[in-house]
């Protein structure tokens, strides 16, 4: 293998590039990135960057020396639009064709939005640095009334940031309990109370019917001076008739994998790029990792892992699969990523951490601290088996229980019939 194309210049793509060099690949690496920037860290976008505490340079995942060391060719500001399954040629949006011996798919995910709102001034999503710049501008011009649609982790972090900036903010959530599908109803309700404790208005069970708009004056209100001639938002309308005044609306309703460019390539793109447990796709010489990838679980099924740590864990495995041409099923010895997914979210002065795959109806028990104080570590169990750990603060105990969870999951996987096939 003499040339590898990495499609995606975010966290997953950057770690794939580093792994290629660390694992001895000395051929040509070409990195394609849809955004103009070199790799940068996304988690601070909704927090420290939005609050103006760090600048763009501090988001960089690599300094100039590290970039020089990997000796890659960067094609940023260009989108991949097609993959030829037979030649592993990637076509860019300017017509450029890049052929290589191996392809790493790391195109990440795109923010979901609501139909018909993309051209309304004052309406924002938050996925990219460009999104964060626009939103930061909007939030720092005057005292905009802000409505966050969606109380998931990104929406919750934006709400906390608005509170820190002294802005009036309202959160609307379609579910009766925020984050109930991820954390269960008990911890989800505690997360909701966290907002209310800080004076943030929250409406759960709120279905969004649409927006009230007016002609955009192009005066910069809402950070949208480039949208003169469009309409701008003035309120969020509920299906029950409620109307919430808004100068800025942030849509935080999740993401979808960036797979459009792979249509017709032969890659399985149903809810992300389908891979085995080693990152191998259906095409020889093509692997995937990061938010775009849907990894097979050795215990059965498959899922995407949209977490920072998942991309980092997947990189060495996927690159090894690419360079050796062996899937994990053939080698049988490579480490398996994603067995115990982990992520964190910082909201107000509270750090929320979750590890594992708990279901909303799993049994929940406090190990340390208390729900009432919003300072605890709890475990989820299903039929007596540990499935997850969640904490508000209490990092030391959480880390210990996370290790125990990993050990228990690995023992269960190793003893399962699926693991021996």
The region of weakest confidence among 108-122, 249-263, 318-332, 357-371 is 318-332
pLDDT band at 335 (very low <50, low <70, confident <90, very high): low
| pLDDT for 336 | 67
Q: Report the pLDDT averaged over residues 353-362.
A: 92
pLDDT at 421 over 90: no
Which percentage of the chain shows pLDDT scores above 90? 80
Identify whether the C-beta of residue 108 lies closer than 8 Å to the C-beta of residue 258: yes
| pLDDT for 410 | 78
pLDDT at 334 over 80: no
| pLDDT for 305 | 86
- CA–CA–CA angle 90, 314, 327 (5° rounding): 75
Of the ranges 80-89, 303-312, 401-410, which is most confident?
A: 80-89
pLDDT at 196 over 50: yes
Helix axes 153-164, 129-139, angle to 10 degrees: 40
* pLDDT tens-digit readout, 144-174: 999 999 999 999 999 999 999 999 999 999 9
pLDDT at 417 over 70: no
379: helix, strand or coil: strand
Contacts of 311 (CB under 8 A, 6+ apart): 11, 12, 15, 106, 289, 290, 291
**Continuous segment of H or E residues that includes residue 275:** strand 273-275
Identify whether the C-beta of residue 392 lies closer than 8 Å to the C-beta of residue 192: no
pLDDT band at 420 (very low <50, low <70, confident <90, very high): very low
For tokens 């340079």, the residue is 57
């Amino acid at each position: 293998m003499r040339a590898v194309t990495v499609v995606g210049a975010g966290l997953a793509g950057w770690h794939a590039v580093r792994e290629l060099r660390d694992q001895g690949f000395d051929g040509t690496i070409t990195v394609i990135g849809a955004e103009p920037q070199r790799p940068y860290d996304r988690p601070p976008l909704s927090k420290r960057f939005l609050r103006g505490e760090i600048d763009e340079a501090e988001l960089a995942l690599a300094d100039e020396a590290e970039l020089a060391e990997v000796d890659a060719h960067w094609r940023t500001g260009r989108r991949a639009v097609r993959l030829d399954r037979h030649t592993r040629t990637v076509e860019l949006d300017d017509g450029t064709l890049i052929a290589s011996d191996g392809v790493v798919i790391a195109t990440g995910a795109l923010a979901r939005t609501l139909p018909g709102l993309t051209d309304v001034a004052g309406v924002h999503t938050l996925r990219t640095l460009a999104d964060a710049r626009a939103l930061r501008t909007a939030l720092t011009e005057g005292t905009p009334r802000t409505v966050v649609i969606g109380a998931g982790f990104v929406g919750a972090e934006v709400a906390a940031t608005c509170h820190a900036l002294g802005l009036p903010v309202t959160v609307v959530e379609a579910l009766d309990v925020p984050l109930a599908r991820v954390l269960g109803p008990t911890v989800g309700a505690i997360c909701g109370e966290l907002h209310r404790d800080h004076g943030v208005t929250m409406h759960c069970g709120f279905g969004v019917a649409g927006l009230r708009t007016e002609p955009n004056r192009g005066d910069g209100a809402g950070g949208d001076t480039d949208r003169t001639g469009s309409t701008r938002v003035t309120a969020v309308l509920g299906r029950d008739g409620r109307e919430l005044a808004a100068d800025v609306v942030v849509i935080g309703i999740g993401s979808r994998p960036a797979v459009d460019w792979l249509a017709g390539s032969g890659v399985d793109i149903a809810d992300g790029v389908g891979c085995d447990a080693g990152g191998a796709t259906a095409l020889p010489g093509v692997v995937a990792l990061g938010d775009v990838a849907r990894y097979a679980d050795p215990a059965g099924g498959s899922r995407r892992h949209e977490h920072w740590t998942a991309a980092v864990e997947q990189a060495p495995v996927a690159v090894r699969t690419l360079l050796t041409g062996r899937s994990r099923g053939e080698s049988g010895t490579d480490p398996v990523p994603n067995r115990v997914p982990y992520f964190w979210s910082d909201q107000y002065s509270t750090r929320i951490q979750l590890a594992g795959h708990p279901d909303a109806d799993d049994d929940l028990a406090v190990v340390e601290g208390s729900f009432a104080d919003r300072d605890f570590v709890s475990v989820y169990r299903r039929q007596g088996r540990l499935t997850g750990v969640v904490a508000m603060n209490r990092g030391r105990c959480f880390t210990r229980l996370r290790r125990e969870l990993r050990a228990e999951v690995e023992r269960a996987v190793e003893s399962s019939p699926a693991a021996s096939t």
